[in-house]
Amino acid sequence: MGQIQLRQRLTAGTILLAGLTSCSSFPTTISPSTESPPPIASPIASAATTPSSQNPGLTPQQTAKLKPKTTQTAATRVSLQQTSQTLASGLSPIPADVCRKTSFYRVKTAAGSPLRLDGNTANHQVANGTTILLLKGEPTREAKVWVQLANGVEGGLPSLALEQISSGSQFKGKMKVKTLEGGAVNVRSQPVPYDDPATSPVVGTLPAGTEVAILGSKGDWYYGIASNGPRGYIARIFLVCP
């Protein structure tokens, strides 16, 4: 029994010595690291090297170079000048749908028969296909409107028998004078009521077909400037888009 315990103690001692021998192969001291410590980022970044938030990877100076430069063309300057003149003179801007609201209509009946012009003592008949000028009323809202024929005769016609003659599709700053008989229109110094034209002097006339630069409107009168003619107010009914 004593011999067995002695052998066990000797065996344990041998294992302990073997463990100490293997541990002696490791260095007893730790050498300092030769690697440099990571740089510490400065909390205040330079404006010249800070990437832009809108364009990652680019500096603000580089981003500014990418922005398109806004240049004012001659047409833009003229448009701005005309706009300022319009506002200064108290004119209203021209409606966007002005080209679709022409005052010229064509008589169109289902049977192709003529129509009687109401309000005319001569019992005047208007043939199918006749071009007329709308003077008063709204064909889309009223059953009958007041019109004028090429010979100057006025009277009433049913709205359902009238077809609007459209002009240009988009207003581009200019309009053209148009009349039924191809004559000239008056240009006045001030807008006037339809039934009292004598309250504003006539400053000149413009023949049919003349193009006029339109700056604005006051009621049913448009203020225009012709290249070789007077400037002043022209009745809206005599203007169409070219």
This prediction's pTM: 0.60
Burial class for 223, CB neighbours closer than 10 Å (0-12, 13-18, 19+) = buried
The CATH number linked to 186 is: 2.30.30.40
CA 82 to chain centre: 18
**Of 34 and 129, more confident:** 129
CA 128 to chain centre: 40
Say whether both 154 and 182 belong to one domain: no
pLDDT digits 0-9 by tens, 9-29:
544 444 434 444 444 444 444
Joined together, the tokens standing for residue 149 give 């024929």
**Of 30 and 210, more confident:** 210
- The pLDDT, as a whole number, for residue 126 is 94
Q: Count CB neighbours of 179 within 10 A.
A: 17
Say whether both 132 and 180 belong to one domain: no
65 found inside a domain = no
9 found inside a domain = no
Joined together, the tokens standing for residue 120 give 């005319």
Q: Count CB neighbours of 224 within 10 A.
A: 25
Joined together, the tokens standing for residue 215 give 């700056």
- The pLDDT, as a whole number, for residue 221 is 94
Checking if the pLDDT of 63 tops 50, the result is yes
94 found inside a domain = no
188 found inside a domain = yes
| Rg value, the chain, Cα | 46
140 found inside a domain = yes
The percentage of the chain sitting over the pLDDT mark of 70, rounded to a whole number, equals 60
Say whether both 147 and 185 belong to one domain: no
Joined together, the tokens standing for residue 162 give 């009238």
25 found inside a domain = no
- The pLDDT, as a whole number, for residue 67 is 54
- Between CA 208 and CA 231 the distance in angstroms is 15
CA 11 to chain centre: 100
Say whether both 159 and 213 belong to one domain: no
pLDDT digits 0-9 by tens, 76-125:
454 445 555 554 468 999 988 888 888 999 999 988 999 999 986 677 89
Domain ranges, residue 153: 101-164
Joined together, the tokens standing for residue 117 give 């012009």
- The pLDDT, as a whole number, for residue 97 is 84
Q: How many domains does the chain have?
A: 2
pLDDT digits 0-9 by tens, 177-188:
999 999 999 999
Joined together, the tokens standing for residue 238 give 């005599």
Domain termination residue (choose one: 134, 164, 194)? 164
Checking if the pLDDT of 52 tops 80, the result is no
Q: Count CB neighbours of 91 within 10 A.
A: 18
Q: Which long-range contacts (CB under 8 A, 24 or more apart) does 47-54 make?
A: none
- The pLDDT, as a whole number, for residue 85 is 54
CA 218 to chain centre: 23
Mean pLDDT of the chain: 75
Q: Average pLDDT in the 44-66 region?
A: 53
211 found inside a domain = yes
